[in-house]
Each structure stands twice: as C-alpha cells, then as structure tokens.
Chains A and B, each alone.
Chain A
C-alpha cells in the first residue's frame, strides 16, 4: 500500500477489494457486502478531509468506517427479520466438496463471538497484518496476535465438533 500520501482515495480499486472482502467475511458474499462497501466509500468521500496520513494508511482508516457500517448492517439484519435457518448441508459427492467446505466454514464462523469474527475478517478478509489490525482496533500488536490465535483455536474446535457430529450422523445412517 505505497503511494498514498495526500488523497486516501487516489487508488480506489485495490481498496475496494480489501473492504469488500472484509464486509463479505462479516456479512456474507453478495449484495449486503456490496452495499456496505458502497456505504464505506460514500462516507469516505464525505469525510476524507478528516483522514490523517500520519495516523496510518488509508486502508486502516477505511476499515474503521467499514466496521461501523458492518455493525449497522448486522444490527438491521437482526432487527425485524428472523435469523435465517442454517442451510442443510448434503455431503453428496466430490463435485460439491468445495461448496460444502465453504458452508461448513461459514456456519462455524457464525458461531464465533463478534470480536473473533471481526478479527478473522480483518486478518483473512482484508488481509491485514496483526500490527495493522492493532492500529485499526487501537490495541497492542501482541494482544491481537494472541486474540487471533485463540479465535482460530475456537474455530478449529467448532469445526472438529461439527465433523464429529456429521460422522455420527453418517455412522447411524440418518442423513
């Protein structure tokens, strides 16, 4: 992310990719993530004079806005609408293996706390380093590294539990 000195929105394409990937991790791939990405850039244009290059890179600033937009979108989603039922996963053949794995991962991610989800979205969605995440969340880098490690541990345990459950179901022939 070099070359951003004065205008934080001088190279929007790359930034859009990162913001979208973060939003997609928090809200799921599709229209919601696109809406949040558009909202982030709308606010960024409006308030871009408040961007201070000495405080960090434009991506960190944009992700700070994106966090708020994603929280708002999640709050709206939880409001009048009922929580959507988790999709049934049918492990039928190798062609659908990738989709099934992705859905399993999404379901496991949804079971994590909001803080863990955010950390994973920033690390694996927006591709930030622990130091950059610490900048966005205003925390110590070490604390972020430990929190990320723990979040991954929790995610792994959820996936293990789901696999054990699936194995039990297959074993008993209930699928």
Chain B
C-alpha cells in the first residue's frame, strides 16, 4: 500500500460510517422530548415551591384580605387628599352609595373579629410556626442532597 496507490487519509475519510436516517430521527425526537419534559417538570416544581412559600407565610390570605393602602406619596403630602366635587346631577346616586357603605360598615363592626395569633403561630393563617420551618429545612436538605448527587454523577459522566 504505497502512498501513490493508496490515499490512506482519503480512504479513512471515505470509510466514515453514517447512521441510518430512521435512527437519527428517532433518537433526535427522543432527546428533544425528554429535554422538553424535564424543563416543564422543573418549571412546575419551581412554581409549586413559590406557591408553598407564599402560602405558608400567609401571603394569599394577606393579599385577599388587605384594604387598599392610604397613599403616602409626596404628591398627597404636598396637596392633601383629593376629593372630587359633587355636582347636583350625581347627588342622589352618591347618597345611595354612601347609605350602602354605612350599612356595610355597621355589619362589619358587629361581626366577631378573628382571634389574634399566638406568638407560635403565623399571622392570617394560624399555621404553627414549626411547619414552614420544617418545610424550609426539608427543601434545603433535599437541595443539598440533589446537588451532591448531581456533582458526583456529573464527575463520573465527564
């Protein structure tokens, strides 16, 4: 096999095998599908984690029960609260709305107030303090465990 008769590098390049088209299509589809599924799983897990974190500290109850905050802006400090002038045309309607508001305020005053939370309970939900603490510690522990496992597997894969 002399150089002039046998181009070794050309022969090695020509001898390169190509995978079957069906094999490539099938494997590429599988890879794409699994990558997509794992991304969706991760997104859902993160969303769930956020909801649990917000809910365990009473964020949902707080958001649902909160009144619109009084404006403490620099504009209100400078000009005072703005009250639109009432015209004669709207006067009956305004009176009606005010009467409704008064009835509502009376009903609220009569309704029993929620029991104040103890020092070992979270506000709004009354959830025991140790529950979110335990969940937090569990999440941190599992995160550390997963990272350690991933690193170990990653180093063996490299």
Residues of A within 8 A of B (CB): 7, 9, 12-13, 16-17, 20-21, 24-25, 29, 33-34, 37-38, 41, 43-50, 61, 64-65, 101-102, 105, 120, 123-125, 127, 152, 155-156, 159-160, 162-163
Contacts and interface: CB of A to CB of B under 8 A. Distances in A.
A63 to B, nearest CB: 11
Interface stretch (B2-10, B48-56, B57-65): B2-10
Contacts of B34: 45
Contact of B15 (A34, A45, A124): A124
B28 A12 contact: yes
A16 B27 contact: yes
Contact of A156 (B1, B18, B32): B1
Contacts of A160: 1-2
B17 interface: yes
Dominant secondary structure at the A interface: helix
A159 B1 contact: yes
A17 to B, nearest CB: 6
Residue in B6, B23, B31 whose Cβ sees the most chain A Cβ within 10 Å: B31
Interface stretch (B91-99, B116-124, B150-158): B150-158
A46 to B, nearest CB: 7
Nearest to B155: A50
B89 interface: no
Q: Which of the four size classes fits the interface of chain B? A: 20 to 34
Counting from the closest, the 6 A-B pairs by CB-CB distance are A50-B154, A24-B17, A159-B1, A20-B19, A47-B157, A124-B12
B31 A17 contact: no
A148 to B, nearest CB: 10
Contact of B17 (A21, A49, A64, A159): A21
A167 to B, nearest CB: 11
23 contacts: A12-B31, A16-B19, A16-B23, A16-B28, A17-B19, A20-B19, A20-B23, A21-B16, A24-B17, A33-B17, A37-B27, A44-B157, A46-B157, A47-B157, A50-B151, A50-B154, A64-B158, A105-B15, A125-B16, A125-B17, A155-B8, A160-B2, A162-B1
Contacts of A38: 27
Contacts of B2: 160
A105 B3 CA distance: 14
Given A12-B31, A21-B17, A156 B23 contact: no
